[in-house]
Amino acid sequence: MNTEKYLVRPDKPIRISDLDPNDSSEFEGKKKAGQAALKELNKEIEELQELLYAEGKKRLLVVLQAMDTGGKDGTIRAVFEGVNPQGVRVASFKVPTWLELAHDYLWRIHSQTPRKGEIVIFNRSHYEDVLAVRVLNLMPEEVWSKRYQHIREFERLLVDEGTVVLKFYLNIDLEEQARRFLARLEEPSKNWKFNPGDLDDRALWGDYMLAYEDLLNKTSTEWAPWYVIPSNKKWYRNLLIATIVRDTLVGMKMQYPAPPADLEQYYQRVLEMVQSYEEKEPEEE
Amino acid sequence: MNTEKYLVRPDKPIRISDLDPNDSSEFEGKKKAGQAALKELNKEIEELQELLYAEGKKRLLVVLQAMDTGGKDGTIRAVFEGVNPQGVRVASFKVPTWLELAHDYLWRIHSQTPRKGEIVIFNRSHYEDVLAVRVLNLMPEEVWSKRYQHIREFERLLVDEGTVVLKFYLNIDLEEQARRFLARLEEPSKNWKFNPGDLDDRALWGDYMLAYEDLLNKTSTEWAPWYVIPSNKKWYRNLLIATIVRDTLVGMKMQYPAPPADLEQYYQRVLEMVQSYEEKEPEEE
């Protein structure tokens, strides 16, 4: 798959309306084949995460942004299925607490960045701070317009200090959103996810798209680029993101830590230990 | 399965040497059947966790303690396989940082307890603070002997304020530990997990068992009881713990939040929205 096609190049601004949320052109098969391919990627990601954790030197930050029902939760589940929960942490940024509001908007973000050996997924992120505040006029332009630079430079810091940053905008359209709202309303166990206020945002869809477009163009950098992921088809969204995550982890060229010196000596010692127990069948695992 | 058999009753002290780490008597089948049963439990736990998260009122804390190779990591993976990483967090307590050491030993523990709707798994815990410090004489008895009461009362606080606390001691024997060390030494990608220092602890096994026995008897309370899980057989360990976690979640009697009032009205509105788009097949999920 040519995933580069979905990159926002720093020197080449995109328009969201030019990008097809239904696109699935980089995969030859259909849904079933795509899901099977995802299973293989899940296994690879699982092994690569184990290696990242074992090496304990590098960090991976995955940022997910989308409109309501865009599929952030579903992506997290599908892409990181089976990965050891010990090495992957999800940070969800909701309405800020008073303590968070008492600091600058990057304070709570910074505190959740990954430590060495860890993958952290941001479910929403600092990018919310240039979205609703702008569309709903909650802050003067003078305040939010300065934030693009803060964010670029904040991410530069993370990357310079050894974190790899991947950013995904899950691109769905109004029609798909309506279908997904309907699914929430039809299925009793999903009703709780439906928030009537979400319908109001539909009226502001165009404004949100402009805010997203601006954000994507202003903060897609060489060190922390954005991908716009066509997301009407969930299977394609998952496959694309899993491919990029896998490729990124491979590119981080991690290695298992060297075994202890005298490994052979320890091996002999433990082997004798095991043999010293009365001969019997090894326990089933 | 009668899981109560593995409870440490506050009024009935146990001796670890009386408990068989090879026991698998509460399950009629063998390994294969046990693994199949686990898959079913995984699905139930996945759904129950979704409900816990949706309701957003209760909290579950799972404490795992064991000797080296006891299977804490494997338990986490096996029992919480497939659960949404967003609602489950693993807190690993390793060598304390200077900031942690600058506070009392429960400070770092308290900060990691679950929030509403969350499951947190402690991979090691505050119980380490009555183990090595005692066995290796790192602190005077006067210091560590007071901690059992601190811990009982700390857990009482958590439970009184709405957290359910489950504590599992994964019981393996010296022979099984030797086998597991050997497995780490035989498999190159596992070599990094082998720490020669771990062999030294084997010489102190008896002292550790006494320290565990004391801890289990002193801190198994009505509100936060200990289970001693026979853990030589990994499949049985996983099955037992998954059963207890499932039963505990069921017992928490959670409910999905009430849907918004006027659900029917919103349903009609969204249905019309969807119908207004030109008639076409719904996108594949």
Q: What is the DSSP letter of B257?
A: P
pLDDT at B82: 83
- Per-residue pLDDT, averaged over B167-192, amounts to 94
- The per-residue pLDDT for range A14-62, each reduced to its tens digit, is 999 999 999 999 999 999 999 999 999 999 999 999 999 999 999 999 9
ipTM value, please give it.
Answer: 0.86
For residue B236, give the chain A residue with the closest CA: A285
| A122 interfaces chain B, CB cutoff of 8 Å | no
Per the CB < 8 Å rule, is B270 touching A233?
no
Question: Which CATH number covers residue A58?
Answer: 3.40.50.300
Within a domain: B131: yes
Within a domain: A285: no
For residue A253, pLDDT over 70 is answered with: yes
Mean pLDDT in chain B?
A: 94
Within a domain: A97: yes
Beta bridge partners, A119, equal A60, A88
Within a domain: B146: yes
- Per-residue pLDDT, averaged over B31-47, amounts to 96
Per the CB < 8 Å rule, is B85 touching A82?
no
Residue from A27, A122, A191, A281 whose CB has the most chain B CBs within 10 Å, to mutate: A191
Most confident among B82-96, B153-167, B251-265 (mean pLDDT): B153-167
What beta strand segments (E) does B124-267 contain? Answer: 163-171, 226-230
In the block, tokens 């698998």 appear at B24
Nearest to B80 by CA among B98, B99, B64: B64
For residue A157, pLDDT over 80 is answered with: yes
Per the CB < 8 Å rule, is B182 touching A256?
no
pLDDT at A279: 63
pLDDT at A114: 97
- % residues pLDDT > 70 (chain B): 97
pLDDT at A81: 83
State residue B194 phi and psi, 5-degree precision: -85, 125
| A257 interfaces chain B, CB cutoff of 8 Å | yes
* CB atoms inside a 10 Å sphere around CB A161: 9
Residue B90, CA distances (Å) to A69, B80, B103, B131 in order: 27, 11, 22, 21
- Per-residue pLDDT, averaged over A6-21, amounts to 97
Taking every pair of Cα atoms in chain B, the longest distance, rounded to a whole number of angstroms, is 77
For residue A202, pLDDT over 80 is answered with: yes
Strands B163-171 and B59-66, sheet pairing? parallel
For residue A237, give the chain B residue with the closest CA: B285
Position B56 confidence tier, pLDDT thresholds 50, 70, 90: very high
Position B81 confidence tier, pLDDT thresholds 50, 70, 90: confident
Position A198 confidence tier, pLDDT thresholds 50, 70, 90: confident
| A25 interfaces chain B, CB cutoff of 8 Å | no
Position B102 confidence tier, pLDDT thresholds 50, 70, 90: very high
pTM above 0.95, yes or no: no
Angle between helices A31-55 and A234-251 (to 10 degrees): 30
Angle between helices B147-160 and B205-219 (to 10 degrees): 50
Q: Which helix (H) or strand (E) holds B84?
A: none
Who among A76, A263, A273 is closest to B85 (CB)? A76
| A260 interfaces chain B, CB cutoff of 8 Å | yes
Q: What is the dihedral of CA B4, B6, B10, B12, to 10 degrees?
A: 110
Please give, rounded to a whole number of angstroms, the shortest distance from the CA of B12 to a CA of chain A.
31
Domain span at residue B163 reads: 3-259
Within a domain: B229: yes
Q: Which of residues 59-118 of A touch B (CB under 8 A)?
A: 73, 76-77, 80-86, 88-90, 92
Q: Which helix (H) or strand (E) holds B92?
A: strand B88-92
- Per-residue pLDDT, averaged over A75-97, amounts to 92
Cα gap A164→A48, rounded to integer Å: 14
pLDDT at B198: 85
| B265 interfaces chain A, CB cutoff of 8 Å | no
For residue B142, pLDDT over 60 is answered with: yes
For residue B285, pLDDT over 70 is answered with: no
Within a domain: A241: yes
Task: Give B115-135 as a DSSP string.
Answer: -TT-EEEEES-GGGGGTHHHH
Cα gap A163→A252, rounded to integer Å: 10
Task: Please state the domain count of chain A.
Answer: 1
* HSE, side-chain direction, 13 A CA sphere, residue A280: 7
Q: Which of residues 223-252 of A touch B (CB under 8 A)?
A: 232-235
- Per-residue pLDDT, averaged over B78-99, amounts to 91
pLDDT at A174: 95
Within a domain: B275: no
For residue B88, give the chain A residue with the closest CA: A85
- The per-residue pLDDT for range A262-273, each reduced to its tens digit, is 899 999 999 999
Tokens coding B201:
């602890």
pLDDT at B279: 63
Provide the 3-class DSSP secondary structure of residue A35.
helix
| A197 interfaces chain B, CB cutoff of 8 Å | no
Nearest to A108 by CA among A117, A116, A99: A99
pLDDT at B259: 85
- Per-residue pLDDT, averaged over A60-82, amounts to 95
> Is the Cβ–Cβ distance between A16 and A171 less than 8 Å?
yes
Cα gap A164→A154, rounded to integer Å: 13
Tokens coding A33:
């084949």
pLDDT at A211: 97
Please give, rounded to a whole number of angstroms, the shortest distance from the CA of B179 to a CA of chain A.
6
Q: Which of residues 144-183 of B touch A (CB under 8 A)?
A: 175-176, 178-179, 181-182
Cα gap B70→B229, rounded to integer Å: 10
pLDDT at A247: 98
Mean pLDDT in chain A?
A: 94
Please give, rounded to a whole number of angstroms, the shortest distance from the CA of B38 to a CA of chain A.
14
pLDDT at A189: 85
Partners of residue A231 in chain B, C-beta under 8 Å: none
- Over its C-alpha atoms, chain A yields an Rg (Å, rounded) of 22
Within a domain: A269: no
